[in-house]
Amino acid sequence: MEIQEIMLKKFVEVFGDKENKELFFTPGRVNLIGEHIDYNGGFVFPCALSFGTYAICSKREDNIFRMYSMNFEKDGVVEFSTDKLVKADVWADYCKGIVDIFIKKGYEVKNGADILFFGNIPNGAGLSSSASLEVLMGTMVRDLNELDVDMVEIVKIGQMAENQFIGVSCGIMDQFAVGMGKEDQAILLDCNTLDYKYVPIKLEDVSIVIMNTNKRRGLADSKYNERRASCEAALKDLQDAGVEIKNICDLNMEEFDKVKHFIKSDEALVRVRHAVSENVRVLESVESLKANDIAKFGKLMNESHISLRDDYEVTGKELDSIVAAAWDAEGVIGARMTGAGFGGCAVSLVKNSSIDSFIKYVGERYTKETGLKADFYIANVGEGSRKLGDL
Ligand code: GLA
């Protein structure tokens, strides 16, 4: 049975038969390069995936939302009205947060809905299952209430919901990638201005292989917030010393070397070194892709991982093990962790002719070193958030 049919059956079981049913979809994302610099005003280079989160949505005439996730069946139906939006530490908080921000921004959310969700992004694996849910909810709230809101605004609402309602100080990359993705294109996004460009990523003879360490990102949110706070403290040190920048990533490597002594903490200094060098790598990697120099792109991916491992310290034993195995495998062009880190996924570019042996080698070595079993996905680069149709 297709996903759609299974969901439809479940929808009727949970909410009864309704006439006005619509199907929506928002993908997950993988970031090719540009890690932990979206909140430092840097460039990132993510793309949307073909797997993601689906929802069947039926508009209600009142302001009540009733929602059910096939991924969290034990939570049953979660119900809330737009008058009372309180965090309850369940998956539906991401959806409540979206409604909350729409209202805080002055949009009129008159209509609720009965919604059934199903997602095929592994949770907590660094492929943006939460941003996918947020932007999906944003897309539905817009359509249900016929609000004049474009996708970039939905993306911003998604980030605000995560920052203010959920309490994770994430940047804008994930929501942007899952909202604005395009088939076979990666997005070069300037996180300072939100200017963006699509860059074709359909590679000849090479595939994007995602490697899931299956190590959950324990304590990731607090460590994430700590990294961000270090960068903010360093920015303040630099600004107080008279360095005229708005963001860490306004510096190039040479400028960083000249002003780094103003950064008071040694730890913050290496964090900033990562951010500045990573930003340079993103721009170089996009140039190398345009010049068809895929080997250079791969080398920059490897350097990105090393910087995230040694300077930003967000990798950990599992990610380091899987990436090191990938580096040694035949047919690899480059490999690095992707997303927030501390577990979750890594991404690699692999020659099509070597994919099977790559997966076998990396999988076996990773299990031997960590006792965990990895999963591998060949990424198809897909479209961003959208309505798929009426049911
Ligand atoms: C998480 C955040 C993003 C970004 C990445 C690291 O995915 O949600 O905003 O900071 O980590 O690059």
Q: How far is the CA of 4 from the centre of ligand 1 (A)?
A: 30
Q: What is the mean pLDDT of residues 37-51?
A: 97
Q: Is the CB of 39 under 6 A from ligand 1?
A: yes
Q: Is the CB of 176 under 6 A from ligand 1?
A: no
Catalytic residues: 174
Which numbered atom of ligand 1 lies nearest the CA of 38? 10
Q: Are strands 43-44 and 185-190 parallel, antiparallel or unpaired?
A: antiparallel
Q: How far is the CA of 1 from the centre of ligand 1 (A)?
A: 35
Per-residue pLDDT band for 337 (boundaries 50, 70, 90) equals: very high
pTM of this prediction exceeds 0.85? yes
Which numbered atom of ligand 1 lies nearest the CA of 128? 7
Per-residue pLDDT band for 172 (boundaries 50, 70, 90) equals: very high
Q: What is the mean pLDDT of residues 182-207?
A: 96
Q: How far is the CA of 258 from the centre of ligand 1 (A)?
A: 28
Give Cβ neighbours of residue 287 (< 8 Å, ≥ 6 apart).
Answer: none
* Per-residue pLDDT at 20 exceeds 90: yes
State pLDDT tens for residues 288-297. Answer: 999 999 999 9
304: left (phi over 0), alpha (psi -120 to 50) or beta: alpha
pLDDT attached to residue 157: 98
Helix (H) or strand (E) holding 304: helix 294-310
Q: Is the CB of 35 under 6 A from ligand 1?
A: yes
* Cα–Cα distance, 172 to 170 (Å, whole number): 7
Pocket test for ligand 1, best of 173, 228, 248, 315 (most atoms within 8 A of CB): 173
Packed helices 294-310 and 317-328: angle between N→C axes, nearest 10 degrees: 150
Only one residue has tokens 């093990």, namely 321
Pocket test for ligand 1, best of 174, 222, 311 (most atoms within 8 A of CB): 174
* Cα–Cα distance, 288 to 290 (Å, whole number): 5
Query: Among candidates 323, 346, 341, which has minimal Cα distance to 223?
Result: 341
> CB of 295 within 8 A of CB of 347?
no
* Per-residue pLDDT at 218 exceeds 80: no
Q: Is the CB of 38 under 6 A from ligand 1?
A: yes
Helices (H), 126-202: 129-144, 151-160, 173-180
143-156 core/surface letters (b: 16 or more CB in 10 A; e: else): bbbeeebebebbbb
* Per-residue pLDDT at 29 exceeds 70: yes
Tokens representing residue 230 in the block: 């270090």
Per-residue pLDDT band for 217 (boundaries 50, 70, 90) equals: confident
Q: What is the mean pLDDT of residues 334-340?
A: 97
Lateral strand order in the sheet of 43-44: 43-44, 185-190, 196-200
Q: Is the CB of 91 under 6 A from ligand 1?
A: no
State pLDDT tens for residues 220-264. Answer: 678 999 999 999 999 999 999 999 999 999 999 999 999 999 999
* Per-residue pLDDT at 219 exceeds 90: no
Tokens representing residue 222 in the block: 């607090």
> CB of 234 within 8 A of CB of 268?
yes
Q: What is the mean pLDDT of residues 77-105?
A: 96
Mean pLDDT for all residues in the chain: 96
pLDDT attached to residue 123: 78
Pocket test for ligand 1, best of 30, 33, 38 (most atoms within 8 A of CB): 38
In the chain, pLDDT over 90 holds for what percent of residues? 94
pLDDT attached to residue 122: 85
Per-residue pLDDT band for 89 (boundaries 50, 70, 90) equals: confident
In the chain, pLDDT over 70 holds for what percent of residues? 99
Query: In one letter, which amino acid is 255?
Result: E
SS percent in the chain: helix, strand, coil, step 5: 45, 20, 35
* Per-residue pLDDT at 185 exceeds 70: yes
* Per-residue pLDDT at 48 exceeds 70: yes
The torsion of the CA quartet 216, 221, 227, 228, rounded to 10 degrees, works out to 140
* Cα–Cα distance, 138 to 186 (Å, whole number): 22
> CB of 48 within 8 A of CB of 133?
no
pLDDT attached to residue 315: 96
pLDDT attached to residue 220: 67
Per-residue pLDDT band for 136 (boundaries 50, 70, 90) equals: very high
State pLDDT tens for residues 105-130. Answer: 999 999 999 999 999 998 778 899 99
Numbers of helices and strands, H then E, in the chain: 11, 13
Which numbered atom of ligand 1 lies nearest the CA of 130? 8
Q: Is the CB of 337 under 6 A from ligand 1?
A: no
According to DSSP, the residues that pair with 79 across neighbouring strands are: 66
* CA R_g for the chain: 21
* Cα–Cα distance, 350 to 333 (Å, whole number): 6
* CA distances from residue 175 to 38, 53, 59 in whole angstroms, order as listed: 11, 13, 24
